[in-house]
Amino acid sequence: MKNKKIRGLIIVVVLLVTAYFFAPLVIPNLPSFWTSKRLKLGLDLQGGSQIQLEVDYSQLKLSEKEKEDAVKTALEIIRNRIDQFGVAEPTLQRVGNTNRIIIQLPGLKDPGRAKELIGKTAMLEFKLVASTEQFKETYESLDKYLEENLEKYDFLEEFADIEEDEEVVDILETEEVDEEEFEMEMRIFTDLTTSEEGYPMVIDYKYIATLKRLLKDEDFLKNVPEGLQIAIEKENKNDLYGPRRIFILHKRAELTGKYLENAQTKIGQGYAPKDQGPYIALKFNKTGARKFKTITGQNIDKKLAILLDNVVYMDPVIQSRIPNGEARITGQFTIEETHDMVIVLNAGSLPAPVNIIEERTVGPTLGSDSIKAGILAAIIGMIVVVLFMIIYYGLSGFVADIAVLVNIGFIIAVMTMLEGTLTMPGIAGMILTIGMAVDANVIIFERIRENLKLGKTVRTAVDGGFSRALVTILDANITTLITALVLYQFGTGPIRGFAVTLSIGIVGSMFASIILAKAIFDGFITNTAREKLSI
């Protein structure tokens, strides 16, 4: 009697938990005390993107252990970025022991934004802007170098032509002009980085690619004065094809993101346009705060450029010493831009570049078709099984059908409770479970039939059938469960989805077939005086 009470309590608890997590799937607008968890759909069911990355450490001199650590670190950093990105139930996993990572982003509508976020290296640097004399020295050196080596840079020939304006013509008409004076007018780098409106240190959009090509040329970079570098301003989202400023900076960073404690997106509420809209608030750790206080204190009235991945975001003038270790990055940003930059800054820098080697996009239409096909297959399979059990085993078959329905509800409820993701292979696992769910009942019913043929009473036949079949059922289900666990441990995304639903289904099947079905037999069949059993 005590065992029956414990069994009854287990059944009630399992059924209540199953109903609690299954109900939101079929009943909308449940009371507020009900669970807010919902069954999530995978990439193949609701659409989204799958991206395969490769951690490229070919240019780095790393040991095998350092390569392994680089992949693990990259995986963790990308996971942090994706988690903050707001994608529901993303899947990130390494492909075996290789340097490749697969990312699945279900429901993502903007894969381009995700790709940009994933690949950023997030190098935050604070560098002093060069002095006027250093500006002049840099330009003179680069103009001279390009003039002397113009044949190597044929793509710059348009900047070597001298415009025949009135002043130049007058010079040419005089007999005293010499070749040296004429050559001084050929300022190729100056002309390249002067806008059509005549603003110096501003490059027109159509020449940005030309400048970037120069900045990759080692011979050209050797002529930048030692300790200095050239950087370009970030693009203006409100004017993507507008001109951008050019900066001459000190190469040595005064402060880096290494000392960053956290970054936050904030909204400016000031009266001036520059103090309005979203911006990034930076807070340094204690060491960084001391460094920042020293830098700002020693360079008052100088410009300090803030760079992300060698792109200048702003160059404020240091007006006073900043002792609290706080700074801000302002500009014409959108909320999305600031949010993405904050994610990258907080997640840290990638240890090595990552290359996208494969991208696959699944549209929501294909996902909808997959859901319909999967549900249809499950319904057809269930109907066939239900009819077969009733026709072949009669009333006992109806009891088995109840166990099957409870098992399906149990699978969905457990996946909802664990906030799992249902995929197409997962649906395949559920369909397989429908067939396996009656497997145990078939074994039990055949044992009961054997006992009845031997002339035993209904109660004795039922008790004997369940007890004799128990070992066989446990043996078969446990071996299948071990196989499912192995699939989950060593399989990739789709195989894991199949293994999860199969594992949950096996546990639910044993509960429904051994515990629930036996309780129904005890309550409605064996506890009453019956001479015959519909089986």
3-state secondary structure of 64: helix
- DSSP letters, 138-172, are HHHHHHHHHHHTGGG-GGGGGGTSPP--HHHHHHH
User: How high is the pLDDT of residue 232?
Assistant: 94
Q: What totals of helices (H) and strands (E) does the chain contain, helices first?
A: 18, 16
Burial call 302-317: b when 16+ CB within 10 Å, e when fewer: ebbbbbbeeebbbbee
Residue 462's pLDDT is 85
**Residue with tokens 């050239």, as numbered in its chain:** 230
- Cα separation, 440 vs 476, in Å, equals 9
Whether the per-residue pLDDT at 171 is higher than 60: the answer is no
DSSP character string of 470-497? HHHHHHHHHHHHHHHHHHHHH--HHHHH
pLDDT tops 50 at residue 195: yes
Higher pLDDT residue, 496 or 171? Answer: 496
Contact of 312 with 234, CB cutoff 8 Å: yes
Which residue has better confidence, 30 or 245?
245
Using the predicted structure, report yes or no on whether residue 167 has a pLDDT greater than 50.
no
Nearest-5° Cα angle at 430, 427 to 434: 140
pLDDT at 176 over 50: no
Band the pLDDT of 178: cuts 50, 70, 90: very low
**Does residue 183 register a pLDDT over 80?**
no
List of residues 6+ apart from 118 with CB closer than 8 A = 51, 53, 78, 81, 82, 103, 354, 356
Any idea how long the chain is? 535
pLDDT at 315: 87
User: Average of pLDDT values for 363-376?
Assistant: 67
Evaluate if residue 226 carries a pLDDT over 80: yes
3-state secondary structure of 229: strand
Kindly report, residue by residue over 209-222, the tens digit of the pLDDT. 999 999 989 999 99
- Residue in 348, 357, 349 with CA at minimum distance from that of residue 98: 357
The amino acid occupying position 489 is: Q
Domains of the chain in start order, with CATH, are 2-40+363-526 (1.20.1640.10), 48-120+355-362 (3.30.70.3400), 125-349 (3.30.1360.200)
Tell me if 256 sits within 8 A of 282, measured CB to CB. no
Q: Please give the mean pLDDT across all residues of the chain.
A: 81
CA distances 95 to 72, 424, 493, Å, are: 12, 20, 10
Q: Which of 212, 230, 217, 209 is nearest to 137 (CA)?
A: 230
Q: Would you state the pLDDT for residue 170? A: 44
Q: Three-class SS of residue 188?
A: helix
The DSSP-derived string for 285-339 is: -HHHHHHHHHHHHHSTTSBEEEEETTEEEE--B--S---S-EEEE-SS--HHHHH
Percent above pLDDT 70 for the chain: 84
Q: Let me know: does 323 contact 293? Beta carbons within 8 Å.
A: yes
Nearest to 201 by CA among 135, 245, 142: 245
pLDDT by residue (tens digit) across 395-439? Answer: 888 888 888 888 888 988 988 888 777 777 887 788 787 777 788
172 pLDDT exceeds 60? no
Instruction: Tokens for 532, please give them.
Output: 């015959």
Residue 262: the pLDDT is: 83
Q: Does residue 169 carry a pLDDT above 50?
A: no
pLDDT at 122: 61
CA end-to-end distance (rounded Å), the chain: 26
Geometric angle at alpha carbon 63, from 57 and 66, rounded to 5°: 70
